[in-house]
Amino acid sequence: MTVNARFLAEDSSQVVLASASSSRKQLLENAGLPVECHAAAIDENEIKRSLAAEGASALQTAETLAELKAGRISRSWPGALVIGADQMLDCNGTWFDKPGDRDQATGHLKALSGRTHTLETSVCVVRDNERLWHHNETARLTMRSFDDDFIARYLDLSGEAILNSVGGYCLEGYGVHLFARVEGDFFTILGLPLLPLLGFLRDRGAVRG
């Protein structure tokens, strides 16, 4: 077993991440859990629109998307423990997606400046299209008030990375300068409630205690 796999039980089921998220993959690998990563082919935007029309909350939507992703990938990985995760940014009932370009990122930051928003994050584990476990967490983040010059400077420094995160920020990088207050688990804010997930995998014998 390689050094990077030192916490993955040798006789455990295959662990697969139903995501192309580099940050979620990095979190798991940093914890000594190398995983196969496969993005699920689902229409997230259409699912969000449909759930919003039905009155679903941001957290309910994140949970639904996490399970759909894991379920879709589990069809191709019989017997594997498939991890699905999703995160929604909700600011007083308005949902924010990843910005498509710099102009959208600028708009998101202007809208969030001086306000508190929540990151609703859900993770689930599916095996053979059956949900075995799930966990939901909410983090509250309050942005400072900042002007257009600050936004431009921040976006110049951050580059393309801001397009990979809802709200246009990465808290582990320059995005920390956007905030006055952060309430919640750091791993959850990064998109994966890692400690509860590791606890479940440990209980299943996939991770050595």
Distance in angstroms (rounded) separating the CA atoms of residues 203 and 205: 5
By the 8 A CB rule, do 6 and 33 touch? no
Q: Find, among 1, 72, 12, the residue nearest to 208 by Cα.
A: 12
Q: Are strands 15-17 and 36-37 parallel, antiparallel or unpaired?
A: parallel
∠ Cα 17 207 121 (to 5°): 45
> Which residues lie closer than 8 Å to 54 by C-beta, 6 or more apart?
none
Please report, to the nearest 10 degrees, the dihedral formed by the alpha carbons of residues 86, 91, 94, 97 taken in order.
-40
d(C-alpha 36, C-alpha 117), whole Å: 32
86 among known catalytic residues: yes
Could you tell me the CA-to-CA distances from 82 to 43, 56, 69 in Å, in that order? 19, 25, 9
Q: State the DSSP H helix or E strand holding residue 94, giving kind and residue range, or none if neither.
A: strand 94-96
Catalytic residue among 11, 43, 86, 149: 86
Catalytic center residues = 86
